[in-house]
Amino acid sequence: MDIKLSTQPYKGTRDFYPQDMRLRNWFFGKIRRALETACFDEYDGPMLESLDLYAAKSGEELAKEQTYNFTDRGGRGLAIRPEMTPTVARMVAAKMGELNYPLKWFCISNMYRYERPQRGRLREFWQLNVDIFGCDTFEADLEVIRSAISLMRAFGADEKMFRVHINNRRFFNDVVSAIAGTDLEGSRKVSKVVDRKNKVPRENYEQSLKELGLDGEKIARIDALYAMGVEEATALCPDTQGAQELLSLFAALKKTGLDKYCVFDFGIIRGLDYYTGTVFEVFDEAPENNRAMFGGGRYDNLVGLFVKNAKISGVGYGMGDVTLENFLVTHHLVPETLGASTKVLMTRFDDVPLEAYTAVVDKLHAEGITATLYLGNKKFGKQIDFAVKDGYTHVLSMGGDELAAGTVKVKNLTTREETAVAIQDIGGFFK
């Protein structure tokens, strides 16, 4: 066949070469450790799910439009998962009676969304999902926000680099109702307008609110909320459940020393109808990149689509790999070298038998030191070039003389220092 295939990955997807993979493993490794230390348990589910799972949540049309979907030979409608929530809801529902609540669960998985690729929005992306299921009190909201802060801090980010913007959907409805006299449905409609405030011209924003019955004075009172702290804002409807929830959460954030990372923000809505209480978004505070990176909130009735009359609440968030990577790069939080701090190449000469070299490498491996024998028969200079290009920190050499003397020459590629080490001590030398 003469037609040659393209070497490009499919549009909107990425190849992870070793250096890309080291970065991905580094940041998801840090996240995994931070979450496991806080007793979050990792789970995973299949890449393919029944299309019904997404259709039930978003309607069939939207589900079909936004996912990669197709019909299998048995006539089942399938979709590649565009998000994790329906999968985890299904998993919790399947074992609802036997699970040990509250569940603190997380997942690091790839997803596919059928959309036009653009900066920060790929068709295939990796996503962290963190959730607590089966705890109705504000302590779970606190724990989830706390975990998001821990992750950022695990990377060395401080309160000058990021901020958690917090609101509460119940409070939103309560305070809009108090100001504008709207009923629950009316407040929800206002939330849709507020959610799009920064995406439309000011006059359209006002026009939309006017259409919902808010006059200029009421709009001004809504406007004032954006600048308020949590005490001032909650004072507008002090006896409502929403205000109480917000105050409890902020009091706990303060007492546990997390308040410096957090701020009340009336503008945080998080589009989906799905959220019922606390909602939050973590912002990048870099002036050149100031924007929401990821977020989440409390939602109820997770398993409702699967089990009649069952009710298990959840609170959680999701974070994409591209977003996190952009943040870490902007704030210079990615170390210059990733991977093993010591990486040793055993070079070769033709006149020394293979097994003399593999014995040295075996000694290094026995001590857990990252090492390999150079594979092939290139000249010594080429072997050194290979080592430098591939980030080896040390090069060993052993010719006939060294072998006879029972030593190996160790060259540190950073300091250029060279040392002769007895073969039997080579493991200890690097420890």
CB atoms within 10 A of CB 184: 11
- Residue number with CB closer to its own copies (21 or 200): 21
For the bound state, the minimum distance from the C-beta of residue 398 to its own copies, rounded and expressed in Å, comes to 16
426 binds its own copies (CB under 8 A): no
Shortest distance (Å) from residue 261 CB to its own copies: 14
Which helix (H) or strand (E) segment holds residue 332: the answer is: none
Binding to its own copies (CB under 8 A): which residues in 185-244? Answer: none
37 lies in the binding site for its own copies (CB under 8 A): yes
Element (H, E) at 171: helix 169-180
Interface region with its own copies, contact rule CB under 8 A, candidates 205-213, 220-228, 370-378, 403-411? 370-378
User: How far apart are alpha carbons 95 and 270 in whole angstroms?
Assistant: 29
Question: Minimum Å distance from CB 97 to its own copies?
Answer: 12
Which residue lies nearer to its own copies by CB, 27 or 172? 27
Three-point CA angle 94, 97, 99, nearest 5°:
85
102 binds its own copies (CB under 8 A): yes
What does each C-alpha distance from 124 to 45, 109, 211, 322, 371 come to in angstroms? 16, 10, 40, 10, 34
Check if the beta carbon of residue 132 is closer than 8 Å to that of residue 106: no
Contact flag: residue 404 with its own copies (CB under 8 A): no
Count of C-beta atoms within a 10 Å radius of residue 92: 24
Binding-site member from 333, 340, 403, 413 for its own copies (CB under 8 A): 340
Cis ω for the linkage preceding 18 (within 30 of 0): no
Residues 54-93 that bind its own copies (CB under 8 A): 56, 68, 70, 72-73, 76, 78, 80, 87, 90-91, 93
How near is the Cβ of 191 to its own copies at its closest, in Å? 24
CB 101 to its own copies: min, Å: 8
Alpha-carbon distance 343 to 345, whole Å?
7
Check residue 158 for interaction with its own copies (CB under 8 A).
no
Q: At its nearest, how many Å lie between its own copies and the CB of residue 362?
A: 8
Given the complex with its own copies, which of 205 and 299 has the nearer CB atom? 299
Instruction: Check residue 21 for interaction with its own copies (CB under 8 A).
Output: yes
We find the least distance from the C-beta atom of residue 375 to its own copies, in angstroms, to be: 5
Give the containing element (helix H, strand E) for 149: helix 138-154
- Integer Cα distance of 356 and 349 in angstroms: 11
